[in-house]
Structure 1
Amino acid sequence: MSPKTPDKNFFAFLYHSPTSPETGHLQRPAGKTFGAWFTMASGSESDDEEIVLSSDALDALNAFYAERDARAKQLAKLEQEAEQRRLESVALSMDTFTEDWNESQFWYSEETANQFAHYLLDGCTAETTLAIVSAPSVFVALRNILSAAPSDEPKPKLVLLEHDNRFAIFPEFVFYDFAQPFKLPPHLKGTVDCVITDPPFLSEDCQTKTALTVRWLLKTESTTPAKATAASGNSSAKLIPHPRIIVCTGERMEGLVTKLYRAYGVRTTDFEPKHARGLSNEFYCYANFESELWKWRGEKAVAVAGDPDAKERVEPAPDS
């Protein structure tokens, strides 16, 4: 004899029965027999009858919960995608994120953040990956620029390495603690084309460990110059190193920074980033490429053999 089809009470039992938050499995209320539980959920008149579900009923129960869980996951995904679209459609401001001095946070001015963002994006394609290490104001500027760009325009991938969990609202966020320079998702190793970093502390330990992270992130196969269109409306094309590196930190870190990134050709530039609330110590920008915004510090332009664009470089003294 085939099992009896579960009646409406059984389905009422399914809909109203609690589940374990840890496992999602059916969870009997404390102090209730299975029969009393069924009675409570379905409205059955028998308080003493001990009910044992047939294999078909158990299959129906499992199928019901599997379908319910699948729909819940689908709904959560749709909600996440909707929130992501909302974030992408709204121009963000660093005013939303108050500086936390315990995190050694000093946001760039909007102008400086946008300038960095434009030069990082210069020449990028959909295959480019940009890493922003401990510089969330540049990340926000990048997101705003990309959000305002035409939908059919190729957009690079962004990765934000940041210690402040407030920025976890962004899907590009990866928690980062400079004290553990390699404690990062393994798939990020050797994937980054361009990076900007602003180490949070003016200490040799922080600068060195951040440099280790940058080296770990950067693609290893490419030191060949890549052609890019000039940023900020300059019509001439230029050759830029690949990978591109920008390091922003205090003037007193100059010797250490140029030593740590010497293999990539990073040098001191004449550009001084501005901060929204000012900064008491002198702050430098170091990079392995020149741009319309900055030149190497200590360089002077001279006319050589009729070439008005020729330049004479004044090299800094070698590290002791």
Structure 2
Amino acid sequence: MINQGNEDDELSLSSSTLDALKQFYAERDARAEQFAKLQAQAEEQHAASQAQSKPLSIEAFTEDWNESQFWYSDETASFLAKQLLDGTTAGMTIAVVSAPSVFVALKNILSTASPDGAKPKLVLLEHDNRFAIFPEFVFYDFNQPLKLPAHLKGTCDRIVCDPPFLNEHCQTKAAITVKWLSKPPSAEEGKNQQQPRLIVCTGERMEGIVTRLYRSFGLRTTDYDPVHARGLSNEFYCYANFESVGWGWRASRQGKQGAGVRQPTEG
């Protein structure tokens, strides 16, 4: 009888130990699963941060000469982007009209900015649907200058425009779009509010037409010469309505503007 009791105690102890072991392994497996999830999450976040830190490249979009696409050099695109960003706040909107290489430069600059810093809203008006991969893309055809989402009217504080063709028709249509996008003075600030900061890049031959179309903006010819990545035979000018340490004012050459010439210019 004594031996039988000892065997019962041993069997009882073994059952308790087994239960404890089962609980231990269950908790260990649960912790391992939790760690694996955290590790996967960390790796995903790291991959996402790496992807964000890798600069976008306009070279991913092959120029289409039939669409008058000539991208700016990285230096020019970055320079123009910085002029637009200077002094912006989170409540501002920058519109990029037919100048996708400047848009890419803006995206790159903003992606490296401090997370706590004020970032303006971007909107890209562009005819090339390849750029629809960006959420800021809005399809734009200069032949229908006001066929745009109604919520964009009068919302833009900074605008850069590079009309795709060197003729008066295209320049005029683009100017209609720019004026429609431009934020009007508020009732409080009235005449004391400055015009939206505007940059127009187009051919030298368009100087007279451009300065006339944007007379109300106070647009003038700068001495900054935009450079295209693959060169461009047309002499290209940068026009603006604000001063910058990056440029001075060029003497007017309005007498040299030519009649409309269909040549590739879009940046």
Q: What is the 5 A alignment of 1:1-320?
A: 88-221=52-185, 241-298=194-251
Please tell me the residue identity of whatever aligns with 2:183.
K
* Alignment check: 8 A CA contact 1:194 1:242 kept: no
* Alignment check: 8 A CA contact 2:97 2:160 kept: yes
Q: CA, structure 1 residues 104+318, in 2 after alignment: closer, same or farther (shift >3 Å)?
A: closer
What is the deviation of 1:138?
Answer: 0.3
TM-score norm. by structure 2 comes to 0.73
String of CA shifts for 1:142-176, please: whole Å, max 9, x gaps: 00000001111110000000000000000000000
Helix, strand or coil for the counterpart of 2:80? helix
Q: CA, structure 1 residues 175+85, in 2 after alignment: closer, same or farther (shift >3 Å)?
A: farther
Matching residue of 2:10: none
**Distance in 1, Cα, partners of 2:52 & 2:146:** 30
What is the deviation of 1:318?
Answer: 9.6
Helix, strand or coil for the counterpart of 2:55? coil
* Alignment check: 8 A CA contact 1:225 1:242 kept: no
Q: CA, structure 1 residues 259+245, in 2 after alignment: closer, same or farther (shift >3 Å)?
A: same
Please tell me the residue identity of whatever aligns with 1:102.
N
**Distance in 2, Cα, partners of 1:224 & 1:91:** 40
Q: CA, structure 1 residues 88+284, in 2 after alignment: closer, same or farther (shift >3 Å)?
A: same
* Alignment check: 8 A CA contact 1:198 1:249 kept: yes
String of CA shifts for 1:231-271, please: whole Å, max 9, x gaps: xxxxxxxxxx4310000000000000000000010011111
**Distance in 1, Cα, partners of 2:181 & 2:129:** 21
* Alignment check: 8 A CA contact 2:160 2:198 kept: yes
Please tell me the residue identity of whatever aligns with 2:101.
S
| Runs of 4+ in structure 1 over 4 Å off | 84-89, 222-226, 315-319
Q: CA, structure 1 residues 224+93, in 2 after alignment: closer, same or farther (shift >3 Å)?
A: farther
Identity, % of aligned positions: 67
What is the deviation of 1:221?
Answer: 1.3
- Give the unaligned 5+ runs of structure 2: 1-47, 257-267
String of CA shifts for 1:195-215, please: whole Å, max 9, x gaps: 000000001110000000000
Q: CA, structure 1 residues 108+115, in 2 after alignment: closer, same or farther (shift >3 Å)?
A: same
**Distance in 2, Cα, partners of 1:87 & 1:221:** 40
What is the deviation of 1:296?
Answer: 1.1
**Distance in 1, Cα, partners of 2:217 & 2:148:** 22
Q: CA RMSD in A?
A: 2.3
Task: Identify the structure with bigger relative contact order (alpha carbons < 8 Å, sequence gap 6+).
Answer: 2
**Distance in 2, Cα, partners of 1:218 & 1:99:** 29
What is the deviation of 1:293?
Answer: 1.1
* Alignment check: 8 A CA contact 1:88 1:143 kept: no
Q: CA, structure 1 residues 169+263, in 2 after alignment: closer, same or farther (shift >3 Å)?
A: same
**Distance in 1, Cα, partners of 2:79 & 2:166:** 23
What is the deviation of 1:316?
Answer: 7.0
* Alignment check: 8 A CA contact 2:201 2:236 kept: yes
**Distance in 1, Cα, partners of 2:167 & 2:51:** 35
What is the deviation of 1:102?
Answer: 1.1
Q: CA, structure 1 residues 225+275, in 2 after alignment: closer, same or farther (shift >3 Å)?
A: farther
**Distance in 2, Cα, partners of 1:182 & 1:295:** 33
Please tell me the residue identity of whatever aligns with 1:110.
D
- Give the unaligned 5+ runs of structure 1: 1-83, 227-240, 299-314
* Alignment check: 8 A CA contact 2:207 2:254 kept: no
TM-score norm. by structure 1 comes to 0.61
